[in-house]
Amino acid sequence: MTLANKQQAAVTAAMPASLSAAVAAYRWARDSIGESGAAVYRLQGRNGAPDLYLKHGMDVAAADISDEAARLRWLAQYCPVPAVVQFARVTDPDQAWLLTAALPGKTASELLEANPALGPAVVDALAAFLRRLHALPVSECSFDAGSAVRLAQARQRIDAGLVDAADFDAGRQGWTPQHVWAALQDCQPITPDLVVTHGDFSLENIVMHEGAVVGCLDVGRAGVADRYQDLAIVWRALGELDAGLQQRFVEQYGLLDIDQGKLQFHLLLDELF
């Protein structure tokens, strides 16, 4: 048995029967983008059936997958996200599986990597989608992703040794998680401007097709938070490509200027996730 087959067997071993039937006869391919502690597989080739994605995780990752399933179902009422085909979670050991429909198209990151000239069009589509997301009714969203919640989660991750300091941004290479935590304390308090946020609005998590955003991925951190939770992530990503794209995004989103203090706070916070 190959390593890939062993991995597939381990993922399917404790699946409920209905989920096992749903993934039967597909070819599996591991997808390393945006895993966030879980294993992600693209499922293809089942007698012309639509492609699917399967996310599997244990312990902390299982809880994250449960969070994502709940948020996908809520967001589906308002904006394009992958449809939940099935979700299952079992104990002993604690593990979860999330099966979703594949979206058409490519991520914004893939499009810009293949053709940088698409930058302005991609930025305009991203800004339009984020305006739409941030206009969702806060009163209808029960998921709290505000700074108090995120800081508590960050502290737990530091204490559990889950923060990867090697993955810090270039300007913070050599820092420890404790250095980041101390810097965060110096940034507070931040007066929030609460909206429904994606939570990790990176170029890898936005899928586009024929010039429009057709869905967002990895929504396990979605919830009510300051709008800069999303703005900071996409600002950083665009700045790695072209400062002109940053300014275009800000204008298309509808800001007169960017709040550097909020940017710094949310970029620091993101280092701990």
CATH of the domain at 231: 3.90.1200.10
**34: confidence class by pLDDT, cuts 50, 70, 90:** low
Could you tell me the two tokens for 206?
Answer: 């936005």
State whether 126 and 256 are in the same domain: yes
pLDDT of residue 38: 87
Given pLDDT bands bounded at 50, 70 and 90, which one contains residue 36?
low
Is residue 82 scored above 70 in pLDDT? yes
Identified catalytic residue from 59, 92, 169, 200: 200
Q: Which residues contact 250 (CB under 8 A, 6 or more apart)?
A: 235, 257, 258
Catalytic site includes residue 200 = yes
* Same-domain status, 87 and 142: no
| pLDDT value of residue 2 | 60
**pLDDT surpasses 60 at 267:** yes
Predicted pLDDT at 10: 76
DSSP single-letter state for residue 144: B
pLDDT tens across 203-255, in order?
999 999 999 999 999 999 999 999 999 999 999 999 999 999 999 999 999 99
**Which of 101, 135, 152 corresponds to the end of one domain?**
101
**Could you tell me how many residues make up the chain?**
273
pLDDT, residue 69, reads 98
Number of domains the chain contains: 2
Which secondary structure element, helix H or strand E, spans residue 172, and what is its range?
A: none
The stretch 26-39 carries a mean pLDDT of: 78
Does 113 share its domain with 203? yes
- 161 and 42 assigned to the same domain: no
pTM of the model: 0.91
In this structure, the answer to whether residues 131 and 255 fall within a common structural domain is: yes
Range of the domain at 267: 106-271
